[in-house]
Amino acid sequence: MKFFVDTADTQAIADLNDLGMVDGVTTNPSLILKSGRDIIEVTKEICGIVSGPVSAEVVALEADAMIAEGRKLAEIAENITVKLPLTWDGLKACKTLSDEGKMVNVTLCFSANQALLAAKAGASFISPFIGRLDDMSLDGCELIEDIRTIYDNYGFATEILAASIRTINHVQQVALIGADVMTAPPEVIHKLAFHPLTDKGLQQFMSDWEKTGQKIL
């Protein structure tokens, strides 16, 4: 499963990238706001750090304007993925931009039928938001499962990008289901390495090692 980082924090992206943990990046208008930076400037910087797909989201709501914004964003770098909302206008823009050979990530997906439409419109990625479904006491991971089944039934090439990941359990669940990609905030990716038994075991080993009085170096 590919790991995308869901942030516009360039330092956090660079740190994880140095560890080989970054296959791509996703941003959205809220993350741009959080960064306090200009969208073009920060997106260009991210594309200079990461060689994989970097999603930059349009903010227009009408197809022609989305297409124009998408083309402008795509000029930033070769690895830009134009992020479009799952509306009919977004799907129309997806078809046009995909036909032009641009990568498109269709976002704000909350149903398997929406994911089916995005695949038919030629999306490179579909982003089902599992955390926001869980927030409503619905099962976000069940949606990933349904989309996996539908895409496999018909051999769609669109990659399932599990988004709105809030916990390490989400990461494990979507990996078990077979999502192609997951995007998570840097904090969640860092937490994946943590286990209390690892810390406890390490503490014991350190204490026993000290008693040996030995040194390796």
* Residue 12 CB, nearest approach to ligand E4P (Å): 14
**Catalytic one of 44, 83, 102, 191:** 83
Instruction: Give the tokens for residue 57.
Output: 């989201």
Question: Which of 127, 194, 130 lies closest to 166, judged by CA?
Answer: 130
- For this structure, is 211 an active site residue? no
Candidates 43, 107, 158, 173: give the one binding ligand E4P (CB under 6 A). 107
Candidates 81, 98, 127, 158: give the one binding ligand E4P (CB under 6 A). 127
Q: Which C-beta is closer to ligand E4P: that of 53 or that of 122? A: 53
Residue 143 binds ligand E4P, judged by CB under 6 A: no
**Count of residues in contact with ligand E4P, rule CB under 6 A:** 11
Which among 42-50, 74-82, 125-133, 188-196 is the span making contact with ligand E4P, rule CB under 6 A?
125-133
* Residue 122 CB, nearest approach to ligand E4P (Å): 19
Binding mask 42-61 for ligand E4P (x = CB under 6 A): --------------------
Q: Residues with catalytic annotation? A: 83
